[in-house]
Chains A and B, each alone.
Chain A
């Protein structure tokens, strides 16, 4: 990096001679160029460090919770300052892959390999857990995500043979479930992320069917959009979904290493990102969380960081049909 006075001097020199490109004049790409406002974290096991983060959720107070593959849940402010962190009760068999937060601020973790949901107070105190391994009502195989609606109803998605969404009452009594393994209407193949819409309906990132499904609160199937591919409107393994203030949906694609924005009818409004290590690029992204002022917190798992994107910055959405990437960068 060229320090400020040096750059100034150099620019003066360039101006004097009228010669462009005397070296050092090319401006390096700043994070802001792709709408990345902030990058939180780096590789490691300390505070504000991640080892393959896989889920994130924002609460109403503006606290961001992130869980990584070291089974650590870390809490940050919206500006990325570390607040506190804790570990899930057990992690030998596997680590959580989904987080949800209730209207009361309670944090729910989909403890995937323990076939259960564990709950914490915002200060990290373990409150309890529910669910056991099985295929029966209220049981789970591999739970992936938890979403809680404004009334406190808890929705849990799972895969591994069940591939469904189960609903629990605010006092955590099992109510019903919907979806079954398959690619037909109302069927799911690894529902990886849940979103309760502003209107109370439910959106599901149906990862292995490469689509997004829309359900009523009672589990009634409304519609689905998306197909496998790299083009606009196509998806590869959508792993995370959230909603922006204008009602549009934003999806993170694990397979395409990008974000894609859709209107509620499923029309693509553009893509953002691509495989890479630089700001504005993603590696195996697992999740996202939309925050105030339409800042989206993207869990850039393979890069061990959270990228905060101001999604309404003009010009950052690519609405062209992207050419397939043939080589790994």
Chain B
């Protein structure tokens, strides 16, 4: 009952005129950014984070969450229309969305994606409301040993799901962690890795600098090289009759939607897993459960519905560990987490106790953003198609300028802008050689959380590493993390053993 009361208060916050306007604006901006090839919710949130200093934290968070939601909806648009996933979360949507569009059923695919997103979002918001308060209660006892174990778990899920080039994935994680260590070592109080005694490194390498460098500059350089602005755009028409028949076909996919939503939510909760693996898993499961799996990949509506329901559910799920434990479930929530810190709020268990208005206002806004995003999406599909036809030579310089200004504003230090450019250029050169870059961004966010937690734990125990296995919560997480870390080695060992046996 208490939860319902809090949620009700939250709705009062969400429906303040300012916040309602921000939800609509955020969804619209998010849809646009999500629909841009190469730009996803990460880019939208990272670039617009500095913009939100104008409003109180609650409104700022609502705005960014609306962008996040909008971008998750919008990601499907370029996946379907251009065959380029708007974001990594929408990769699975291209598998069946693109064939549908080529068959002239783009409207069908777009409506299916929007509806599935809505269902996924709604189911996950309900799950969120039900599970967040007990989790927050439980989180107060989370000390440094538990945090470190959780960080290890985050890396474990990430390593297991990372790219196929193992040394390059590891390299990316390591370099992100080292960059995260630049600045002040809080345990010894000493400055470290201040390259060339440049004063700008004293505040460390801001994760935003790396994130905008990689998702902004590097992504744009990459897109410029690979598409030259000549992307084929399929023709989509919207008609009332088409919409009706689309809805009829959609109703038949409700089971897939529900499955995708639950799967997405629970994968999304896992730290660092996020929406991309959630949507891929949902696609795989839908194919296996389907009566005619062979039609997947050739334009099966179930193949659009499953990943879209899952990625939206996962994006809400990822907010749960972020808000209750202060741990990001995806790169986008990592950036949101940075925002929470910048606004002067302490992420973690106390957020639910200290900042009830903030937390429940946000949850209620998620409900509202969900509905607004659906309506906007359906209404504005024709407009998005028009914008995507804008020459790349107009969009590119504007995005570049947003990157420069966005890199400068958080710290008001030109040092960070130069650093961002270097990250973007070097990142581009590395990306051409198949170095995955997303792990570095995750690592630079997680590293500064993991290292002090590790050292504080060992200080607490007086030099005993066993502290991670003597505390009940820490030991459970630790064991799961170690199993996940070692799992990828299993097939290799098995292969070796069978070879030896022969």
Bind each other: no
Binding site for A on B (CB under 8 A): none
